[in-house]
Structure 1
Amino acid sequence: MNASNQAHLTIQGCGYRIENDRVIISIQRIANDRDEGNLSGTLQLQLCAFHQGIGDLEKIVLASTIIGEMKGQHFLSDCYYDLFFQPPQVGSWQLALQLSEWNGVDYTLCDSAYFDTAYQVEAPSNPSVPAMQVDELENEKAASTPKIATEHPTVKKPKEVKKNATGYADGYLAINKSKVDKLLKVKGVPKKVLEKLIAERPFQSEKAVLNIKGMGPVMMEKILAELTK
């Protein structure tokens, strides 16, 4: 349902679909019904939410995009906008799509399309979790994910270094004493890494060798195997 329009800038056939943190907005027609010589100000689309049942008319912007200017007697058809979606707080909300025009100072509302079906945001099902915005819960979940992901691979790396150290107790000394041409002939190791090794010598420990950019336990084992033949 569209509100009465006095600016002759209209939106028709509006819909939306929310997918996680994105919302796809569809509009059949965005039109400038003014005289042909007219050029509108910059147009803005906003998906807004109004809290139901408390008499609060203050809107919350959930998604927004800029369309640009439009000539009089022109229109855009079959428009689709894939936008970032910021959900509202827990509660029941009426959503509306609003078209506004820049007047040189601020955006003024030109047309609105209200959606009849209320948008519900439920409180967390876990009673031990305090009620908060749904997006805050998602942010916490997302923030914790990298911690879980990094626990597995990084903890076991030093053990591989230890294995190399057992096989070549003085491996770093072999690198220190090796001739340049012999180091550069090691196969399976990038030449840039070998050149960096040569430039950074002498090393005080195998750990210092492994700190070289591009160097890892496997590459170090290849180098030491070649040098100790």
Structure 2
Amino acid sequence: MNALNQAHLTIQGCGYRIENDRVIITTQRINSDRPAGNLSGTLRIQLRALRQDTGNSESVVLASTTLGEMKGQHFLSDCSYDLAFQQPHPGTWQLVLQLSEWNGADYTLCDSAYFDVPYHVEAPSDYSIPTMQINEPEIEKAVSTPKVATENPAVKKSKNVKKNVTGYADGYLVINKSKVDKLLKVKGVPKKILEKLVAERPFHSEKSVLNVKGMGPVMLGKILAELTK
């Protein structure tokens, strides 16, 4: 299944609430905009944590569940999933909810919803289980939903921060948070490379983007210039 079809599976209105060793994940809508005769592969939702306080690109799965298949022009509304929660190591993390689809060989990423409030896990002072610190007891809401038509605010901010050798600081975050349709329409870049970027998201550093086959600093700069217009 190609990346263009993946773009039509989306999640909206995402949130989570952690209760000891469980997490409640909620979504207002899981949507398939594909043709009515289309049947997706098995869908999977994962809550992942991306390391924020170190230079390493650690990514941890905190909770996961499969949803089965979905017909084109169908949707699931007001979903709630009570799942086993795997606490990450002590540190500061960014949480992201990801929707993926089974393509016959592996799961490919279709859509992501990033949560703006950092998730902190304190180091234990003794041999007890690490304690967690959450900024708010209520369900944390995602930064934005995939259907919002306005430009991602995180992309706008990248224009005003200090730039690096490729021309854009934290450019990998711009690629992570860009809508699939917009990323696939970048002009002057081979479609195969753009599809690889969609399939291999999320990236955790500029170096990991440059490791994509066919990618180089000049091409990356061109992609980021288009995404941050």
Q: TM-score range by the shorter chain?
A: 0.5 to 0.7
Between the aligned partners of 1:20 and 1:130, the Cα distance in structure 2 is 18
CA distance change for structure 1 residues 6 and 96 in 2, over 3 Å: closer, same or farther? same
2:44 aligned with 1:44: yes
Q: Secondary structure at the match of 2:111?
A: strand
Q: Which amino acid aligns with 2:42?
A: T
Structure 1 residue 55: Cα displacement: 3.9
User: Hey, what's the Cα distance between the residues in 1 that align with 2:55 and 2:75?
Assistant: 35
1:134-145 correspondence to structure 2 within 5 Å: none
Work out the percentage of aligned pairs sharing the same amino acid: 70
Aligned to 1:61: 61
Contact 1:123 1:132 in 2 (8 A): no
1:112-154 deviations in Å (ceiling 9; x for gaps):
0000000000112x3xx2697559xxxxxxxxxxxxxxxxxxx
Corresponding residue for 1:28?
28
Query: What is the match of residue 78 of structure 2?
Result: 78
Match of 2:101 in 1: 101
Which residue number in structure 2 is paired with residue 214 of structure 1? none
**For the residues of structure 1 that align with 2:58 and 2:33, how far apart are their CA atoms?**
29
1:105–1:6 CA distance, 2 compared to 1 (3 A)? closer
TM-score (norm 2): 0.53
Q: CA deviation at 1:36?
A: 0.8
Change beyond 3 A, Cα 1:133–1:26: same
Structure with bigger helix share is: 1
- The answer to whether the 8 A contact 1:52-1:93 is kept is yes
Structure 2 distance, partners of 1:103, 1:58, is 25
Q: 2-side partners of 1:40 and 1:113: how far apart?
A: 20
Aligned to 2:19: 19
Query: Where do 1:106-185 residues align within 5 Å?
Result: 106-124=106-124, 126=125, 129=126
Aligned equivalent of 2:9: 9
Report the counterpart of residue 153 of structure 2 in structure 1: none
CA displacement at 1:58 relative to structure 2: 3.8
Of structures 1 and 2, the one scoring higher in RCO (CA 8 A, sep 6+) is 2
Is the 2:122–2:130 Cα contact (8 Å) retained in structure 1?
no
SS of aligned partner of 1:40: coil
Which position in structure 2 is the counterpart of 1:90?
Answer: 90
Structure 2: gaps (5+ residues): 133-229
Amino acid at match of 2:43: L
Aligned residues: 129
Letter in 2 for 1:91: G
Looking at structure 2, the residues matched to 132 and 90 of structure 1 have their Cα atoms a distance apart, in angstroms, of 11
Q: 1:56 & 1:40 partners in 2: Cα distance?
A: 34
Write the distance in 2 (CA, Å) between the matches of 1:33 and 1:115. Answer: 24
- CA displacement at 1:7 relative to structure 2: 2.4
Q: Secondary structure at the match of 1:30?
A: strand
Distance 1:34 1:111, change over 3 A: same
CA RMSD in angstroms comes to 2.2
Give the distance between the partners of 1:114 and 1:43, measured in 2 at CA. 19
CA contact under 8 A between 1:96 and 1:115: conserved in structure 2? Answer: yes
